[in-house]
Amino acid sequence: ENKIKMKNITKQVAILLLLINFSLLAESGGSLEFGFIGGLSIPNEKMSDFFNVENVNVQVDSLKSVGTFITNSAADKGYHLGARLSKDITNNIYIYGALTFHRFNKGSYELAVYNEELSDTVLAHFQATTNIVPITLGINAYLMRKTVGLYLTGDLTYNFISTSVDYEVKKKITLPIYLDRTISRPGCGIGAGIDFDLSLFLLAVEAKYNLSNLVGREDGEPKKNYVSISLGVTF
């Protein structure tokens, strides 16, 4: 119960901080700029895991047993699309807010049950797809800024993480796990980028390492981290 209370407090604080920072973005001096981002999302091997433990108690027909999840292939490379508002605080410091959608291609898993009374050891095949929608407040700090700019970037995020699972079974089984689930977790990201001032718009290439469930994970909940490589256009 105390863990649940602490998680709720952590989420509320994270949302409050993001709201405060977005208000600062709207009220601070400097020109407000709008842009789009998109590109490649490269997940860690745990991205599409929909189970907290590898071994689960299952019921096959009327027989109780223990099943083991086997990873055939973890989530493959995905993509992301988003929109961003940014504002210069000084000549070398920008703050920005963003809403982005990340989709990670299906990870493949099997559930194997080892029991003398079963003729088939692999009883189910799973395909898990994960989407992450981060609400982001970040800062870009320029090391160099002329026609070509070089900057470091960092952000705080509040992430909505959803996993949907398609599966095929060989026998009637009962699983004590969620096959479709959405959770929300605070996270962060850090990276670097380079941009080019093309007069009509700013073209940027950025690489960032993202931790989507840094805070508030449940016991056994896998870390869902990923690298985003983005191409951005700001007007």
Q: How many residues does the chain have?
A: 235
Alpha-carbon distance of 21 to 174, in angstroms, equals 46
Give pLDDT, residue 164. Answer: 92
Question: Over the stretch 60-112, which tens digit does the pLDDT of each residue have?
Answer: 777 777 888 888 998 889 999 999 999 988 889 999 999 999 999 989 999 88
Question: Over the stretch 199-228, which tens digit does the pLDDT of each residue have?
Answer: 899 999 999 999 999 998 988 899 999 999
Give pLDDT, residue 142. Answer: 97
The CA–CA distances, whole Å, from 36 to 85, 131, 134, 154, 208 equal 9, 19, 15, 18, 16
Alpha-carbon distance of 105 to 3, in angstroms, equals 32
**DSSP H stretches of helix in 28-83:** none
Band the pLDDT of 36: cuts 50, 70, 90. very high
Task: Name the pTM for this structure.
Answer: 0.85
Band the pLDDT of 31: cuts 50, 70, 90. confident
Question: Over the stretch 146-168, which tens digit does the pLDDT of each residue have?
Answer: 899 999 999 999 999 999 999 88
Alpha-carbon distance of 73 to 59, in angstroms, equals 25
